[in-house]
Structure 1
C-alpha cells in the first residue's frame, strides 16, 4: 500500500512532480476569483460527479438558462434541481458523501473548462432565506425559476482549477430543435431488453 495521496504516488512514479507543482502553484485556487465567477455565470450546462459512502460513482448532466448556476460569493455556488426521473441518484449520494465535483465547459467559444470541487448541501426552497443572497439574486431566482426549481444544491468551494481547451471540440448551437421526441423516454429500449431476458429464462 502506498503512502500519501494517489496523486502524489503517481506523480512520483511517472516523474511528473515538477509539472504538477507548477499546476498547483499557478492554476489552482481554494476559491473562485472574479474571472471564474464570470465564467460560471455565462454557462448553460455542467457535469456533476458524486459518489456514495462506499465510493461508487455517478455522473450526471445539468442544464438551464444562462446563469442557472448562481455564484453566492467566492466560496459558494448553488444550482437548482428540477423535476427528474425521481431516482435521486446525485442527491442520494450527497446524503451519504457530501464531496462533489462540478465541470463547466465552454464548448462554443473558448473551449476552456473549469473544475469546481467542494462539499454539497441540499436546500429546500423555503430554506434559501438562511443563505446570504443579495436582493438582486433573490429577484432573479423568483423571475427566472418561478416554481421550476424543486430544491437547490449549495456547494462550498474547496478547489477551483482550469480544464484546458486541448481536445475539447468547438460546437455550434442549433438554430432550432430537431423534430420528433427529444425527451428521451425509453431511447435505449430497456423495456424491450428486460422482456427478452425474462423470456429467455
Structure 2
C-alpha cells in the first residue's frame, strides 16, 4: 500500500473500509486457493513501467495454468514470440515492479491482483530457481518449445478483485496458432495505422 492510498483514505474518510480490506482480503503471498485459481487461468493482464514511470499494460495468454505458482511467494510465466517490441520486458529490465491482474470471466467471475517484483530468466537458467528436474521437464513439455524466456515474480501482495462489475462471458472453442506471423490471424491493421501515416 502506498502513501498516496493512505493520504486519500484519510481525505475521503474511507480508512475503516480500507483497514478491513487490508486485514481480511490482502496477503503478502498467494495462498493455496489463489494458486489453484491461477492454475485454471488462460489469461492475465500485466502492468509494468519504465524507470521514468511511463506505464504499459499488456495481455498475456496461454494454456490453462501457463502462469505457475512455484511456491507461495514465487510465480512465473513464459514469454512467447511476439511483435519483437519487448515493451514489458524492456520495462522490467529498467524497473522490476509488476502488477498482474487475473480475471475469470467464465466460471467464478472474480479477479485476483498480484503485485511484486519481476526478473527475466532464460530457459537455461530456470534450474537456478531451485526447480527440480522433473518439474522442469514437465514445464518444457507443456510449453512445447514456445517459451522463449520466462518472467519470475516475487510476490509482495495478493488480493481479490470483486465480482460486482466483471462481465459474464461465454468461451468460444477455437484453435490458437501460437507464435504466428500471419497478419490476418494477428488482427492485421485493424486500427488503420498504416493508412494514416
State TM-score, norm by structure 1: 0.90
Tell me, in whole angstroms, the C-alpha distance in 2 between the residues paired with 1:81 and 1:176.
Answer: 21
Distance 2:31 2:137 in 1: 24
Aligned residues of 2:127 and 2:136 also touching (Cα < 8 A): no
Residue by residue over 1:158-190, the C-alpha shift from the partner in whole angstroms, topping out at 9 and shown as x without a partner, is: 00000010110011111347xx93311221111
Q: CA deviation at 1:136?
A: 4.3
Q: Check if 1:103 corresponds to 2:106.
A: no
**Runs of 5+ unmatched residues, structure 1:** 195-201
Measured against aligned partners, the alpha-carbon deviations of 1:7-66 in whole angstroms (never above 9, x if no partner) come to 011101110000000000000000111000000011000000000111110000000001
CA distance in 2, matches of 1:67, 1:176: 18
Runs of 4+ in 1 over 6 A off after TM superposition: none
Offset, 1:140: 2.1
Q: How many residues align?
A: 189
Larger Rg: 1
Are 2:137 and 1:139 aligned?
yes
Distance 1:111 1:9, change over 3 A: same
| 2:180 match | none
- Residue of structure 1 in register with 2:187 after alignment: 184
Map 1:76-91 to 2 at 5 A: 76-91=74-89
Structure 2 unaligned runs (5+)? Answer: 176-182
Contact persistence 1:72–1:132 (CA under 8 A) = no
Scaled by the length of structure 2, the TM-score of the pair is 0.92
